[in-house]
Amino acid sequence: MALIPLPSITREALGTRYVLHMASDGVGSIGADVPLGRIAGVVTNGTTGLSAQLIGQMPALEVINAFGVGYENVDLAAAAARGIVVTNAPGTNDETVADHALGFMLALSRGYGVLSGMVRAGGWKNARAARPSLNGAAVGIIGMGRIGQGIARRAQAFGMRVMYCTRNPRTELPFEYAADLLAMAEASDYLVTACPGGPETWHIVNAKVLAALGREGFLVNVARGSVVNTLDLVDALQKGTIAGAGLDVLESEPEVPREILDMDNVLITPHMAGRSPAAQRAQTAALLESLEAVLNGRQARFAVV
């Protein structure tokens, strides 16, 4: 059973091997016709997750697959108590997300969206003001997993100063470690979130961090909506506390606050930073491998529980 929308290649691959039931509304709602007692595998993601209550309604459940990297809303304790294997797909969309983050940084700094609108409106001459560039600027990255490292490598190639903030330094990496998030934000021209969601990172970007980033700084969130305090972000954008933001995720998604929609210094994409044909093929392969292994009594290579 899939609780989330899946690419056509994934649905076709699953449909040729298994009886596939899709969530009735595409976002986790299970129709009355789904035989929960016979469901052996569930495909979800970190945002939708799978609750202990639903796990309890599936006595035949053997494997829960997070179609991507995140699995923060899957009840791992409930799964472990039943011996249910939880898997994900690490390394399948990291480079795509890193590309997306760099795209936000370039588009925000160079003003692609605003300038295109001005030119279309006949304002060619007035649109030719100087805009900041990435070269020589500083980026602070919250998180230094695969995605964070991908962003760091790309930023380094642009001649940027690269800093990162995690609980512990990654001494094997050639980037500048910052133990204090506020200090890193203050030293950054671009602050990029690339950390997992969940309680430990909830609202880690708040009014204090945004104030430290400052009126010439840009925020980019390609992590989870819960990482950024939306009310604080709206306030910072309205007051000019920061210069702008690139958001692939929101706390309220798919609903977007009207205040954000009305701001021309905010770029928004619909939680698709990790979606590319290559990433979807890799995620599908990881999903099929995990399902086949668990349902045939073998150890899953991508098991997290």
CATH number of 8-92+276-295: 3.40.50.720
| pLDDT at residue 186 in the model | 98
Residue 37, helix vs strand vs coil? helix
In the block, residue with structure tokens 């290559």: 278
Stated pTM of the model: 0.90
| 192/178 Cα distance (integer angstroms) | 14
Question: What average pLDDT score do residues 85-91 get?
Answer: 96
Q: Is residue 205 a contact partner of residue 228, using CB atoms and an 8 Å limit?
A: yes
Percent of the chain surpassing pLDDT 70: 98
pLDDT digits (tens, 9 = 90+) for 206-260: 999 999 999 999 999 999 999 999 999 999 999 999 999 999 999 999 999 999 9
Q: Look-up: residue for tokens 């791992």?
A: 76
Write the single-letter amino acid at 211: A
291/99 Cα distance (integer angstroms): 29
C-alpha to C-alpha distance for 171 and 162, rounded to whole angstroms:
14
List phi, psi (to 5°) of 64: -115, 125
Q: Provide CATH 3.40.50.720 ranges for the chain.
A: 8-92+276-295, 94-268
How many Å apart are CA 269 and CA 19, to the nearest integer?
33
Confidence (pLDDT) at 163: 98
Choose among 153, 154, 209, 200: nearest CA to 178.
209
Please determine, for residue 167, whether its predicted confidence score (pLDDT) is greater than 80. yes
Q: Residue 262 pLDDT more than 80? A: yes
Query: What pLDDT is stored for residue 24 in this prediction?
Result: 60
* pLDDT above 90: residue 31: no
* Residue 293 amino acid letter: A
Write the DSSP symbol of residue 29.
P
Q: Which CATH number fits domain 94-268: 3.30.365.10, 3.30.420.10, 3.30.930.10, 3.40.50.720?
A: 3.40.50.720
Active site residues per annotation? 224, 253, 271
The pLDDT score that the predictor gives to residue 305 is 85
- The confidence score (pLDDT) of residue 32 equals 72
Element (H, E) at 64: strand 63-66
- Collapsed DSSP state (helix, strand, coil) of residue 250: coil
Average pLDDT of the chain is 95
Furthest-apart CA atoms within the chain: distance in Å: 67
Rounded average pLDDT over 59-84: 95
Q: What distance, in Å, lies between the first and last C-alpha atoms of the chain?
A: 19
* Residue whose C-alpha is closest to residue 23's, from 13, 45, 9, 162: 45
Angle of helix 112-120 relative to helix 94-110, nearest 10 degrees, comes to 50
**pLDDT of 80 above 90:** yes
Tens of pLDDT, residue by residue over 93-120, are: 999 999 999 999 999 999 999 999 999 9
What distance in Å separates the CA atoms of residue 118 and residue 100, rounded to the nearest whole number?
Answer: 24
pLDDT in tens, 285-305: 999 999 999 999 999 999 998
For residue 24, the tally of other CB atoms under 10 A from its CB is: 13
Cis peptide before 254 (omega within 30 of 0): yes
